[in-house]
Amino acid sequence: MYRIFSLFALLMLVSGCHWEHKKRICPWMKTHKTNFNKNNHLESETDIESVQNNLMDTEIKLQEFCTKNKNVVSTEIYDDDTYTLKYELDETLNLNVTVKIFHRLMETTVKMANSNALVLEDLKNLPSMVKPENATWLLEDGLRIRIPYKVPLGTETSEVCVAINTEIIDVPVAVTIDISKFAD
């Protein structure tokens, strides 16, 4: 009988099992992390899920902002060379316009110049095909914000990871030339 007990004790010793906090721990019973493989594919999936969740949270917040400001009427126009965002305004005189772009998020604020009363406030998620550093705005038949495309429409380009501009871009008013002054 002691031979069987000795054999059992020897097998337990060799197997590497031990007791921790009244619980038997054996190496073959441990769960190994499975979120890594040779090419880190599973870890990338958790990164993708994190990006998806963060993007969805941001989109939900933008939707909530849009719902709060449902009186703001805007139109998107995709021309041959520019993306244009047009806001309908009852009046275009004596307005202070501020347009700021942070990466691909554009904040537009319009206030009355004399009373500082808020006329319009909006946030837009810009398409990735625009070049925000060349954006301009103009008060003409409402407020028009024009942002040129990075490349002409119909051009085939390869997608590359580019550095994100973390600076806030203050969009300037567009320079217009009155052609009637030059007419003979």
CATH number of the domain at 172, please: 2.60.40.790
Domain boundary among 68, 86, 120: 68
pLDDT tens digits for range 71-125: 888 899 999 899 999 999 888 888 999 999 998 899 999 999 888 898 899 999 8
Distance CA 78, CA 147 (A): 10
Say how many CA atoms lie within 13 Å of 32 toward its Cβ: 5
The answer to whether residue 44 is domain-embedded is yes
| C-alpha span between 36 and 147 (Å, rounded) | 43
pLDDT at residue 5 greater than cutoff 90: no
Residue-wise pLDDT tens digits, 21-61:
667 676 655 554 455 555 555 555 578 888 888 889 988 98
Residue 3 included in any domain: no
Domain hosting 47: range is 33-68
Domain boundary among 22, 52, 68: 68
Separation of alpha carbons 135 and 147, rounded Å: 4
Residues 95, 110 contacting (CB under 8 angstroms): yes
Left (φ > 0), alpha (ψ -120 to 50) or beta: where does 79 sit? beta
Look at the chain and report how many structural domains it folds into: 2
Residue 32 has what pLDDT? Answer: 47
As a whole number, mean pLDDT of residues 4-11 equals 72
Instruction: Decide if 120 is inside a domain.
Output: yes
How confident is the model at residue 39, as a pLDDT?
A: 56
Q: Is residue 110 located within the same domain as residue 174? A: yes
Q: Do 102 and 53 share a structural domain?
A: no
Assess whether pLDDT exceeds 70 at residue 19: no
Q: If you average pLDDT over each of 10-14, 37-41, 94-98, 166-170, which comes out highest?
A: 94-98
Query: In terms of pLDDT, which residue wins out, 144 or 5?
Result: 144
**Burial of 102 per CB tally in 10 Å (0-12, 13-18, 19+):** middle
pLDDT (mean) for 123-137: 92
- Residues 6 or more apart from 111 whose CB is under 8 A from it? 95, 96, 98, 117, 118, 119
CA gap 28, 64 in Å, rounded? 51
Q: Which one of 23, 46, 68 terminates a domain?
A: 68
- pLDDT of residue 180 exceeding 50, the answer is no
Q: 178 is written with which tokens?
A: 């009155």
Q: Are residues 138 and 167 in the same domain?
A: yes
How confident is the model over 118-143, as a mean pLDDT? Answer: 91
